[in-house]
Amino acid sequence: MIVGGKIMNKKMGILPIVVSLGLMASVAFAEDTFKFAVIDPGSGGAAVVTERILEVLNFSVEKLNAEGGLNGVPVEVITFDNQMSPKETAIQAQKAIDAGARILQTSVSSSNTFALIDFVRKYNRRNPDNKVIVFDGASHDPATSGSKCSYNSFSWVLNANMKTKGLAEFFKSQTDIKKVYNLNAEGSSGQTTRKNILNMIGETRPDIEFVGDETHPLQKITDFAPYIAKIRASGADAVTTSDWGGDLALLLKAAGEANLDVKWFTYFSTGPGSAAAIKQTGLDGLVYSVFDGDAGIDNADLKAFEGEFRTINVHSASAFPGDTSAIRALASAAKQAGSNDFDALIVALENQKFKTVYGADAYMRADDHQIITQMVISSFGPTDGLDEDGTGWGWHTQAVIPADKITFESTCEMKRP
């Protein structure tokens, strides 16, 4: 459990989280480190997502530090529990800055991301000599690089608009799908995805009938059986959902227990708990991932990265691609700028080209600070390759959607200095 910049270890009490240049975790950092703050839930149901994010982020930072850090300065990861609250996100952001953080990242819930972007916009205006940068690690909401876009903020994963456009492209070839049930969580991100699915798939496949369009409370449902009953009664061939974390795991569990034979097109099934839920309920080949990529992609760099990561973690590094992309682009930008200062990093990050964890080409679009890269549709089932969470099941790539097929023109009206 993460508590105010520290992580609770059940056996050892409270320990500071650090990532160092080949140092033991117990050795404290010197003052001259580049502090990278993670502001995400450290308690409650979403804490497991933060734990997984930290696994990937810490691993990526360790590799960066082993290569000399940012212009010779090691990166230190510090953590703060926002209690899944936008108000607490702002409070913890100030604490992170007081602790010396130069970059503030949040990934869990778009409402928290919006709160952080707004806080930093105001903070930087009041503190021009101590500006900080926001990294959106995985919020998924297009507003982060759209209506909420900021010169101070960068989004490191494909957003809901891009993913849904890619899914609509894929549906062109899925002629066996005639009826779709659209199920998403309440909240900004869920509502945005819900509307996009109806509009984009409806435009690409006007023959498809949406036999259900429903939202549910976010991270509060303990039994999805009633929703599964509605899906069965609707006669749907497929379900589209942007559910994540515990919601998705419980939803798929209920589907398996009810022997519901439909295809599931999910936006976050690479996340915590999903692999076990899919395997345990026997949904072989029925769950599809609509995501930036998957661990089963045939790429030498990905296999090497995943192989090294899995010597110390049972989970997949590719489940949270934003963290790896952010660190790789940051390292390249710092080297290009020859400086770790705010203004130099911002300029260098814009249009920065890099490789994602999947080995795909990517760049950070200057117009709206949105990552531009390809998208992948994958299905989940038994594998002889890299499996997920020790289940013996893994992701099988079904389609790669090129970046130009999922990219929208920027709607950001960025205020530059």
DSSP letters, 175-213, are TT--EEEEEEESSHHHHHHHHHIIIIIHHH-TT-EEEEE
Tell me which amino acid residue 147 is: S
Neighbours of 189 (CB within 10 A): 26
CATH of 161-291+374-406, one of 3.40.50.2300, 3.30.465.10, 3.10.20.30, 3.20.20.100: 3.40.50.2300
Kindly give the residue spans of alpha helices, DSSP state H, lying in 25-140. Answer: 47-66, 86-98, 110-126
- pLDDT at position 415 is 94
Q: Residues 197-200: contacts with CB within 8 Å, 24+ apart?
A: 197/164, 197/167, 197/240, 200/164, 200/165, 200/167, 200/168
| Low-confidence residues in the chain, pLDDT < 50 | 1-30
Q: Are the folds of 2-158+301-372 and 161-291+374-406 the same?
A: yes
Per-residue pLDDT tens digits for 244-259: 888 998 999 999 999 9
* Residues 354, 363 contacting (CB under 8 angstroms): yes
Dihedral angle sign, alpha carbons of residues 91, 93, 94, 96: positive
- pLDDT at position 21 is 36
* Residues 78, 101 contacting (CB under 8 angstroms): yes
Cα separations in angstroms, 185 against 31, 47, 110, 201, 265: 43, 18, 12, 19, 15
- pLDDT at position 3 is 42
Q: What are the structure tokens assigned to 364, written together? A: 């950070």
Place of tokens 């130069």: 102
Of the candidates 215, 275, 274, 265, which has an alpha carbon nearest to the alpha carbon of residue 375?
Answer: 265
- Reading phi first (left if > 0) and then psi (alpha if -120 to 50, else beta), residue 31 is in alpha
Quote the CA–CA distance of 166 and 408 in Å, as a whole number.
Answer: 11
Residue-range domain boundaries for the chain: 2-158+301-372, 161-291+374-406
For 2-158+301-372, give the CATH class. Answer: alpha beta
Quote the CA–CA distance of 266 and 271 in Å, as a whole number.
Answer: 11
Q: Is the pTM of this model over 0.85?
A: yes
DSSP letters, 221-256, are -S--HHHHHHHHHHT-SEEEE---HHHHHHHHHHHH
